[in-house]
Structure formats: C-alpha cells, structure tokens
Amino acid sequence: MSKAIKLVSQSKCYGGFQCVYEHESSILKCTMKFGCYLPPQHEKKKNLPIVYYLSGLTCTEQNYIMKSGFQRYAAKHGIVVINPDTSPRGFDLPGEHESYDFGSGAGFYVNATEEPWKTNYRMYSYVTGELPTVVASNFNVNVGKSAISGHSMGGHGALIAALRNPGKYKCCSVFAPISNPSECPWGVKAFTGYLGENKSSWKQYDATFTAKEYDGPKLEILLDQGEDDPYLNDKQLLPENLANACSTNKHINLNFRMQPGYDHGYFFIMSFMEDHFNFMAKHIC
C-alpha cells in the first residue's frame, strides 16, 4: 500500500491550513483526493486528535471544505480534520454517471460485491482502513483519538464505520443520516446494485441493524435532524428506526435532536457545527 501523498492546494485558515491532497489508492485502484485541515497546533504539537467527515450524495471533498465552516472549531480545539471524496473516480463504468444516487459521487461507503462495481467501489475499506493508514503516516495525529462524522449518505457511512469497528472511533456525529438504508428508496437502489438481491447481506451496512448487534465500548452518538427536511418526509432517512434500535442497546448512547425549521442542506449543517465539534472534542481532546 502506497502511503505517499501529493499536495494539491493549500490556503491559510484560522491560523492553520486547509489543504487538499491526492494519493494512489490500492483499495479503489484510482487517484483519490481528500481534504485535510491542519490546525495551528499541528506545527508544534504531535499526536493531535482526528475527525473524519464523510459527505453525502453528489459531493466531492470540496463541499464540506467550502460550505460548513468547520475550520473555526477545528482550530479552536486543535483537531486535524480529514474528509475524503464520496466515490472512486475515472473509470466510466456502464451506468456510473447516469443518476445522482448511484455510481459516481454515490459510493455509499460499502464494499461492493457485484460486477462491475466490486473491483473499485470499496469505500468502506478505504474509509476505515487505507485512508487512516495514509493519514497516520503523513501527519502528527493520534490514531487512538479519532471521531467520525457525516451527513446524509455520509452520516450512514459514519454510523456504519463506528458501529462495525468498536473502539476505533471514540464518538460519532451525524447530520440527517440515512439511518435504515435497507428500507428506503436510496438505500434499496444502491444496495441492490452494489451488493446484489440477497437482502441478508445488506444488514452489515445498515445502522439500524448493526446498532442492535453492537457490543463494544460505550459509543456516544450525536444525531441532528431538521424537521423540515424533505427527505425525512419522503422516508429516505428513517432516523426513528435507528433511535428505536439504539434504545435497546446499553452500549450505545444516542442523543437524537429534532431541529425545527431546518432542512437537509449546508445551512442546517453549519448551524450546528459548533455543537458537533464541542461534542467530539469532549471525547477525543
């Protein structure tokens, strides 16, 4: 596995640097980009905590960097923030670019098992394995002090990463996650395409199922959901199903907050970003 990275861009921000790097991914078999915010503490202090942020459908690494305002809070707490792209790029597989909710920009953070996706669409292994190894090899971070966060499809990915890897992430912070993908149109489409028709294989990538089976160190989860989110009304997100599953597991503490008047977009995310960084800092700083 190559651990070499190349700097694509760098801008000073709140005393630190907002960077974008690229590297050759052996898991995905393509060049991948990821955002990396290095807080001002990075120059003088080693073993900084890490937050991984996973974006939603159609996004690249740029959306979170440009729209969320997270850098202010990462600088305050001295947290390195890593946010990868949402899918492999550059293969032009049949049907890869035909819809916004499958293929390019929509990797769903699973390891595909179906052709033609299984060779490259392995975002679960990339996010939980290869990317952290690359980060640990290149930056002054403490891998034992990691948190994971995400929005929508990325919220689904963050939940799955935390629930399937007990102790790897000290906490999980999510905005409007796809909480029960086996039961919603987005998830059924993606899981059928990437994982096949056997729905029993879907459960490993469904937070509502994995929450019931989680047996590890106490996992703290903060979930914010806008009450005026159109995808909530369309039954794409189903956070109530996750809440019910978590309520039966003593190893999970879910703080589920409904936010009146907020929708699914980045104005919603930036409104509660400070809360989420304060929450994560409590567990990793």
Q: What is the Cα–Cα distance from 99 to 17, expressed in whole angstroms?
A: 34
Compute how many other C-beta atoms are within 10 angstroms of the C-beta atom of residue 260.
7
Contacts of 26 (CB under 8 A, 6+ apart): 1, 2, 130
Strands lying side by side in the sheet with 6-13: 6-13, 16-25, 30-38, 80-84, 48-54, 141-151, 171-175, 219-226, 252-259
Q: What is the Cα–Cα distance from 232 to 258, expressed in whole angstroms?
A: 11
Q: Are 22 and 6 in contact (CB under 8 A)?
A: yes
Answer yes or no: 206 catalytic.
Answer: no
Residue 274 phi, psi (nearest 5): -60, -45
Q: What is the Cα–Cα distance from 22 to 5, expressed in whole angstroms?
A: 6
Answer yes or no: 152 catalytic.
Answer: yes
**Active-site position among 25, 152, 173, 179:** 152
Q: What is the Cα–Cα distance from 29 to 223, expressed in whole angstroms?
A: 33
Q: What is the Cα–Cα distance from 5 to 138, expressed in whole angstroms?
A: 8
Instruction: For residue 135, list its beta bridge partners.
Output: none
**Active-site position among 23, 77, 151, 264:** 264
Answer yes or no: 97 catalytic.
Answer: no
Q: What is the Cα–Cα distance from 263 to 247, expressed in whole angstroms?
A: 25
Q: What is the Cα–Cα distance from 12 to 153, expressed in whole angstroms?
A: 29
Q: Which residues are catalytic?
A: 152, 229, 264
